[in-house]
Amino acid sequence: MKQLNVGMIGGGFMGKAHALAYAGMPMFFWPAPAVPHRHTIVDVTEELAKNAAMKLGFDHYETDWRKVVNDPEIDVIDIVTPNHTHAEIAIAAAKAGKHIICEKPLALGAEQAKEMLDAVNEAGVKHMVAFNYRRTPAVALAKKYIEEGRIGKILSFRGTYLQDWSADPESPLSWRFQKKIAGSGALGDIGTHVVDFARYLVGEITDVNAVTKTWIPERPVQTGGTDSLGNVKGGADVPKSPVDVDDEFITMVKFDQGAIGTIEATRNAWGRNNYLTFEIHGEKGSLAFNYERRDELQVCFSDDPGDAKGFRTVYTGPNHPYGEGLWPIPALGIGYGETKIIETYDFFKSITEDTVVSPNFHDGYKIEAIADAILQSAENSQWVTVAKELSEVK
């Protein structure tokens, strides 16, 4: 059984999720395309790195990511660091001939993403951007219905991503609220997942028209190095610092195939935890999905008999995409880990079979271009056409 050595840059929450995927992927998809071997992990201090290696099951640890990127034993570089570091690491990894999986959003903006895309194209390595939610089996099932024409031509798309972990003004100023590190706020952090859904399920977005809001203009400075996602409060005596990214955005979108839609994301929606949803209306049916109840896809077919028409609640399982590899019956339970396991499976398959996997850096770049257009639209209060040449970028 072929084995691929992984060098992981970063050891936080996303590192945990990826490490679980490396361990679990062959258990679910066997024979695996290749067995991921957790070779080396990088974190910012030796103590953190050593601890992460033990915790996440890596053989080695390192504090200098350049060493790992250039280590000839490493086949795959996995980038799970804050957004502002993605480009430098990815470009170096591409130059070193490594296959790359990079956490989302790909970059701080389209320009930087383009450099990354050029680098992987030039190097001829495999590349993936980790918009994992589209690998929820229920989302893949929606894609299957659409591709098979079972809901007809799509007329409209509504997507939301609502959270509340930072709705409290005392929630600390993590890197996710700093433009120089995160690029943007709710837009890049969570909104891009909805943009990924929209492109995956409906098609290319051509025009956007948006509003952004920063509801909490300053937050307590974060103490400690970890990304506490709102679970640690600042306290009254902690100095505050400005937030320079969006807490919320809404946008209208137009698709090249004629559909229209809205996309919204906020981290100020009390009671919504990970409310990543879409609703799609087609000429022959409708789809609805809510990640908070991710085992389920809602589908309505217009040609059902008149006295038995309505949304079906389909729990994904062996009869649905990726079902053979997952659990033996529906509703045993798809968790966050499974989305990452499937992502890893598809990425490794693209390496061993030399095929193109989606979403890749090309997708990541286009999503950055759309995100840039959303910010530009909000600033100018008008429709912005996503550059036509995008479709010509390879």
Q: Which of residues 345-364 bind its own copies (CB under 8 A)?
A: none
Contact of 182 with 188, CB cutoff 8 Å: yes
Which tokens hold the place of 348? 């490794």
Q: Residue 261, interface with its own copies (CB under 8 A)?
A: yes
Q: Residue 260, interface with its own copies (CB under 8 A)?
A: yes
Nearer to its own copies, 179 or 233 (CB): 233
Q: Residue 221, interface with its own copies (CB under 8 A)?
A: no
- Contact set for its own copies, span 116-135 (CB under 8 A): none
Q: How far is the CB of 282 from its own copies (least distance, A)?
A: 7
- Contact set for its own copies, span 5-44 (CB under 8 A): 13, 16, 19-20, 23-24, 26-28, 30-32, 35
Q: Residue 167, interface with its own copies (CB under 8 A)?
A: yes
Residue among 135, 320, 362, 366 that touches its own copies (CB under 8 A): 320
| Sheet with strand 60-62: strands edge to edge | 60-62, 35-42, 3-9, 76-79, 99-102, 127-129
Q: Residue 215, interface with its own copies (CB under 8 A)?
A: yes
Q: Residue 306, interface with its own copies (CB under 8 A)?
A: yes
- Contact set for its own copies, span 276-295 (CB under 8 A): 279, 281-286, 288, 291-295
Nearer to its own copies, 123 or 216 (CB): 216
Nearer to its own copies, 183 or 230 (CB): 230
Q: Residue 385, interface with its own copies (CB under 8 A)?
A: no
Nearer to its own copies, 99 or 320 (CB): 320
Which tokens hold the place of 14? 């996303």
- Contact region for its own copies (CB under 8 A) — 86-94, 101-109, 116-124, 250-258? 250-258
Q: How far is the CB of 142 from its own copies (least distance, A)?
A: 11
Closest to 368 measured CA to CA, from 244, 242, 196: 196
**Single-letter amino acid, residue 331:** A
- CA pair distance 44, 25, nearest whole angstrom: 27
- Contact region for its own copies (CB under 8 A) — 100-108, 117-125, 177-185, 312-320? 312-320
Q: Residue 175, interface with its own copies (CB under 8 A)?
A: no
DSSP string for 103-142: PSS-SSSHHHHHHHHHHHHHHT--EEE--GGGGSHHHHHH
CA 394 to chain centre: 21
- CA pair distance 310, 298, nearest whole angstrom: 9
Nearer to its own copies, 296 or 372 (CB): 296
Element (H, E) at 102: strand 99-102
Q: Residue 233, interface with its own copies (CB under 8 A)?
A: no
Q: How are beta strands 240-242 and 3-9 bridged, if at all?
A: unpaired
Q: What is the dihedral of CA 349, 352, 358, 363, to 10 degrees?
A: 150
Is 197 exposed, middle or buried (CB count within 10 Å of its CB: 0-12, 13-18, 19+)?
buried
Q: Residue 275, interface with its own copies (CB under 8 A)?
A: yes
Q: Residue 252, interface with its own copies (CB under 8 A)?
A: yes
DSSP letter at 271 equals T
Residue among 85, 156, 241, 358 that touches its own copies (CB under 8 A): 156
Number of residues that bind its own copies (CB under 8 A): 109
Q: Residue 72, interface with its own copies (CB under 8 A)?
A: no
Which tokens hold the place of 18? 């990826």
CA 76 to chain centre: 19
Nearer to its own copies, 295 or 368 (CB): 295
Q: Residue 101, interface with its own copies (CB under 8 A)?
A: no
